[in-house]
A and B are shown apart, each in its own frame.
Chain A
Amino acid sequence: MRFLTISGPPSSGKTSVILRVIEALQAKQKKIGVVKFDCLLTDDDKLYAQKGVLVKKGLSGALCPDHYFVSNIEACVTWGHENNCEYLISESAGLCNRCSPHIKEITAVCVIDNLSGIGTPKKIGPMLKSADIVIITKGDIVSQAEREVFASRVKQVNPGAIIMNVNGITGQGAFELTSLFETASDIETLKGKVLRFSMPSALCSYCLGETRIGEEYQTGNIRKMEI
């Protein structure tokens, strides 16, 4: 099962881009699962369900959604694997610029938009700076030169990433992005995997700097999704 973590600031176009990729993958008869992590409320699960993909939703409530993510993602991966998904995509809203759901050896994608301002790339932490692929959306609203200036700011803080412009509405660039999904990390379990960057200051073992994934490393205030 190919598994990717996708994150990005609220309303940057994560769901729109994922939906366009899902359409391209479904044209090739691929079975897809999506897990959506959010804080208080989301309707994204309905949009995914309309496409006929398997969906799980997890709301973190009072916890930082990325902390909540790391306590639940292993079970989600097992769920996707048991349901014979060929692709599992996790979407998480990057509400806190300091935390990031990206895992070592798991293809990490960050979605940000051209309208967020040229100062934004440097304000976002590991979610952007440690991603393998950075998708820039809403290019239809600005000129080519402005897209280039924005992309150069992204490149400055993550020079090793593949940076692509994708339009979440028309799907321009989505075929190209799908070809990258087709070579994403191929796994059965997250056992033994480690976060790309620790997530300090909250309430659980991961707040204390834990990066290993697995039941035995989770202590303190842990909440579990219903799977």
Chain B
Amino acid sequence: MDIKSIFQKSMAAIFTDHPYIEDFLTSFGLLPTPSNETLEHYFANLDPDMLEDLGISAEQLQQSFNDFLQGMLAISDPMDKVKSLTIIGGHDKSGKQENLELTLNPGEIICIVGPTGSGKSRLLGDIEWVAQGDTPTKRKILINDQVPDSKWRFSTEHKLVAQLSQNMNFVMDLSAEEFIRMHAESRLVTDPEEKVTQILQQANELAGEQFSPDTPVTSLSGGQSRALMIADMAILSKSPIALIDEIENAGIDRKKALALLVKEEKIILMATHDPILALMGDRRLVIKNGGIDKIIESSEAERKNLVSLEELDNKLLALRNRIRTGDTLENI
């Protein structure tokens, strides 16, 4: 759709076809009504004194509106395809060169391991910023073998990477359903209600304990919030690269969670200390003193051990459930 035709629509049509325009106007303190007046006429006839009181000039409002509309229309543009992500090594904290060029492809899971403070989050940060030698590590990131357009750095419509951060707390005063709806609306998905239902259902499958849609987000347990955020990322995010910072804490079905995230053709980088998650990865980058020190390919023997690790994990999970339901653990 082009911008010009939107300006010729009546305010009534704007209200039904483009509710986000009504939201935009009300967020500036304006009170539009669904009349027969065209949008163009509406803008041209705003009272300058009223705008002054609202702290905006007609010129700036128009400029903001154009920027807003362009952003909104861009959301429905297809995302550029990412076929590969290349990390060109920089140096560690002591200046020692990394000497590596590492190319990652969609569908791959790469784990990042290393002690606290070693530089795991910094590596994820370099990728998110598509660093070009302008971060302390001096790493460079290529997309499809090229220095990417710097629009990736600031685009909110087409983010290159989606992050699942360590922190899963909420402060907003909303129910789980309201929160997810607001998030879906901010992404302008075509069928927000359907997505909200899907996310809540998936989250409940991942969480150890069920929660209802009207639970305030602030009273979700750690596991429930984590499950909600993983389902949200899997279903709402279109970003071709996913960065996951330490999701291991108990309370969710990690294997299901990862399977849900990998389902789409994404490149996944995951900072983790969890042996099960680490073995599910194709490779592990070992970070030491701020640099990538070693790359370990998950071996056959390791994959075999994954089976017994999972058995161990399921056993623990079953014990946890018995404790939760008031059982004793005299016979395990």
Which residues of A does B touch, CB under 8 Å? Answer: 97-98, 114-115, 117-118, 121-122, 125-126, 129-130, 139-146, 148-149, 151-153, 155-160, 162-164, 172-173, 175-176, 179, 197-198, 200
Beta-carbon contact of B168 and A143 below 8 Å: yes
Given A149-B179, A197-B57, does the pair A144, B170 have CB atoms closer than 8 Å? no
Beta-carbon contact of A144 and B27 below 8 Å: no
Residues of chain A with a CB closer than 8 A to B309's CB: none
Task: Give, as a whole number of angstroms, the nearest-CB distance from B160 to chain A.
Answer: 14
Beta-carbon contact of A129 and B232 below 8 Å: no
Which residues of B does A touch, CB under 8 Å? Answer: 23-24, 27-29, 52, 54-57, 60, 63-65, 67-68, 70-71, 121, 125, 129, 134-136, 153-154, 156, 162-165, 167-173, 179-180, 182-183, 186, 225, 229, 232-233
Beta-carbon contact of A159 and B165 below 8 Å: no
Beta-carbon contact of A160 and B63 below 8 Å: yes
Beta-carbon contact of A129 and B179 below 8 Å: no
Beta-carbon contact of A143 and B186 below 8 Å: no
Number of A-B contacts (CB under 8 A): 109
Residues of chain B with a CB closer than 8 A to A142's CB: 167, 169-172
Beta-carbon contact of B156 and A140 below 8 Å: no
Main secondary structure of the interface of B (DSSP, over half): helix
Given A142-B167, A146-B171, does the pair A159, B67 have CB atoms closer than 8 Å? yes
Give the interface centre of A98, A115, A139, A146 by most chain B CB atoms within 10 Å: A146
Q: Which of A118, A125, A179 lies in contact with B134, CB distance below 8 A?
A: A179
Chain A: CB-nearest residue to B217: A146
- The 5 lowest CB-CB distance pairs between A and B, nearest first, are A125-B55, A152-B186, A159-B67, A159-B68, A160-B67
Beta-carbon contact of A145 and B23 below 8 Å: no
Given A143-B167, A144-B165, A144-B229, does the pair A156, B24 have CB atoms closer than 8 Å? yes
Q: How far is the CA of A152 from the CA of B156 in the complex (A)?
A: 8
Residues of chain B with a CB closer than 8 A to A114's CB: 171
Chain B: CB-nearest residue to A138: B171
Q: How far is the CA of A175 from the CA of B131 in the complex (A)?
A: 10
Main secondary structure of the interface of A (DSSP, over half): helix
Chain B: CB-nearest residue to A133: B154
Task: Give, as a whole number of angstroms, the nearest-CB distance from B200 to chain A.
Answer: 13
Beta-carbon contact of A160 and B55 below 8 Å: no
Chain A: CB-nearest residue to B173: A117
Task: Give, as a whole number of angstroms, the nearest-CB distance from B330 to chain A.
Answer: 39
Task: Give, as a whole number of angstroms, the nearest-CB distance from B151 to chain A.
Answer: 11
Residues of chain A with a CB closer than 8 A to B169's CB: 141-143
Beta-carbon contact of A172 and B121 below 8 Å: yes
Q: List 9 A-B contacts (CB under 8 A).
A: A129-B56, A143-B165, A143-B229, A144-B233, A145-B232, A152-B186, A155-B68, A156-B27, A173-B125
Q: How far is the CA of A105 from the CA of B70 in the complex (A)?
A: 23
